[in-house]
Structure 1
Amino acid sequence: MLRPTMEKLGLTVPEAAALSSLGQTSIYKAIKEGRLRIRKYGTRTIITRTDLASFLENLPDEPEE
């Protein structure tokens, strides 16, 4: 039985991008810079919901004017 994306524990890059409202390019950039942790299973790249949430929570606040 397949789980809807909202319930999955592990996300693909496209799913993580859609769930976070970021583009796939931004997700790949964060991975390359070491700011977003990934897991590998064979050739699959998996981003856990916890790691995605932590990445988003640690983004800088909007600067005050």
Structure 2
Amino acid sequence: MTNHLRSIKETAAALGISRSKLFLEIKAGKIAVRKIGSRTLISDSEIARYLGTLPEIRRGRAA
């Protein structure tokens, strides 16, 4: 599997969050980025790692 690099816009869309929320997560150190010139890029493996840190919520059936 290749480790594709995604733009901020692509990453936000993939995670289902706003660009503003993504920048907050980056600033908080929760998501690592790569800089190439002026471009900020995030690898697929970093997206997967970040998703793995989020709590899993299981909802039971209502009685």
Are positions 1:55 and 2:47 aligned together?
no
Please list, as runs of the form range in 1=range in 2, the aligned pairs for 1:1-65 lying within 5 A after superposition: 9-62=4-57
Paired residue total:
58
Determine which structure has greater relative contact order: mean sequence separation of CA pairs < 8 Å that are 6+ residues apart, divided by chain length: 2
- The 4+ residue runs of structure 1 with deviation greater than 3 A are none
Note the residue ranges of structure 2 that are not aligned, 5 or more in a row.
Answer: none
Alignment CA distance shift 1:39-1:49 (3 Å): same
TM-score, normalising length: structure 2: 0.79
CA distance in 1, matches of 2:12, 2:3: 14
* C-alpha RMSD over aligned residues: 2.1
Note the residue ranges of structure 1 that are not aligned, 5 or more in a row.
Answer: 1-6
Larger deviation, residues 17-26 vs 33-42: 17-26
% of aligned pairs identical? 28
